[in-house]
Copies of this chain bind each other. A is one copy, B any other.
Amino acid sequence: MAEIVHMIDSEVFLAFSTYATIVILKMMLMSPITSYYRLTKKVFSNLEDTSLVKTSEDRKKLVRVDPDVERVRRCHQNDLENIIPFVVIGLLYALTGPDLSSALLHFRLFVVSRIIHTVAYVMALPQPSRALAWIVGLFTTFSMAYRVLTTALFL
Contacts and interface: CB of A to CB of B under 8 A. Distances in A.
A18 interface: yes
A131 interface: yes
Identify which of A8, A15, A21, A145 gathers the most chain B CB atoms within 10 Å of its CB: A21
B127 A49 contact: yes
Identify which of A2, A13, A126 gathers the most chain B CB atoms within 10 Å of its CB: A13
A45 B2 CA distance: 46
A14 B45 contact: no
Interface in A1-45: 1-5, 8-9, 11, 13-15, 17-18, 20-22, 24-25, 27-28, 30-32, 45
Interface residues of A, number: 62
Given A27-B85, A87-B88, A124-B48, A145 B8 contact: no
A141 B28 contact: yes
A109 B89 CA distance: 20
B1 A17 contact: yes
A76 interface: yes
A25 to B, nearest CB: 6
18 contacts: A1-B17, A14-B153, A17-B148, A18-B149, A18-B153, A21-B89, A22-B149, A24-B145, A28-B141, A28-B142, A30-B81, A31-B82, A32-B138, A46-B121, A47-B124, A48-B126, A52-B127, A80-B84
